[in-house]
């Protein structure tokens, strides 16, 4: 049985194209793989705190010396990291906000990029520990950015996923959504059509 972890990061529950894409992905996957397990974490509903002194302290302080706040921060980081470690396929639904990923998704990465857990340092440099996993990234964008200098989503996500050992990454971009009604329809339909190839 394959385990799929879906991370939602749109601030909107209604009218979100990235959520529409992820829901279609889930429907396609369940149709093709009915026995697989899919877990959805919605960062807009269950918000993950941004990296702070409590989380850093939880990572770096011996358990017997941790404050209550550090233990709480570490427990959440452990939960998020365990979800990622258990997954075979990671799906990131990410609208483009100001040329990049939502801050909620960045906060999630800050909790799961863990030295000696999801990556380690070696004499030859950092080495990702999550090899063998696959990732699918579903983006929604008002303009046309793929392959251009203003696209800070895909390069960042490819780098951070590779850092933890995930190199098999597929991107599906719904672009041009704010340009015109026709462009919206075209961008959405192209992305939905591409979804059939990744499930």
CATH number at residue 54: 3.40.50.360
> DSSP secondary-structure letter at 49?
P
- Taking the chain (199 residues) in runs of 10, the rounded mean pLDDT of each run is 97 95 97 95 96 95 95 97 98 96 98 97 94 97 93 96 97 97 96 92
pTM: 0.95
Say what the pLDDT of residue 86 is: 98
Whole domain around residue 93: which residue ranges? 3-195
Number of domains in the chain: 1
Q: Where are the alpha helices (DSSP H) in the chain?
A: 17-32, 53-60, 68-86, 103-112, 153-163, 181-195
Count, residues in the chain: 199
How much is the pLDDT for 199? Answer: 81
Instruction: Please return the burial class of 35, using the count of CB atoms within 10 Å of its CB with bins 0-12, 13-18 and 19+.
Output: exposed
Report the C-alpha gap between 10 and 22 in whole angstroms. 11
Strand order in the sheet with 37-42: 37-42, 3-8, 89-95, 134-140, 168-174
Output the CA–CA distances (angstroms, integers) from residue 85 to 6, 133, 141, in the order listed.
Answer: 13, 9, 29
Contact between 173 and 97 under an 8 Å Cβ cutoff? The reply is: no
């Amino acid at each position: 049985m394959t385990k799929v972890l879906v991370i939602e990061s749109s601030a909107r529950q209604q009218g979100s194209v990235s959520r529409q894409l992820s829901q279609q992905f889930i429907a396609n996957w369940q149709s093709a793989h009915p026995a697989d397990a899919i877990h959805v974490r919605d960062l807009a509903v269950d918000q993950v705190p941004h990296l702070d002194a409590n989380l850093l302290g939880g990572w770096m302080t011996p358990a017997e010396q941790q404050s209550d706040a550090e233990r709480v921060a570490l427990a959440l980081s452990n939960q998020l990291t365990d979800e990622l470690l258990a997954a075979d396929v990671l799906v990131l639904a990410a609208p483009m906000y100001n040329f990049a990923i939502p801050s909620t998704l960045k906060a999630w990465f800050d909790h799961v990029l863990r030295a000696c857990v999801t990556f380690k340092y070696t004499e030859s440099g950092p080495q990702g520990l999550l090899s063998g996993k696959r990732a699918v990234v579903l983006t929604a964008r008002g303009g046309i950015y793929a392959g251009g200098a203003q696209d800070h989503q895909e390069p960042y996500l490819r780098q951070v996923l590779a850092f933890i050992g995930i190199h098999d990454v597929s991107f599906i971009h719904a672009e041009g959504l704010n340009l015109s009604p026709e462009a919206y329809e075209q961008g959405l339909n192209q992305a939905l059509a591409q979804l059939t190839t990744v499930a």
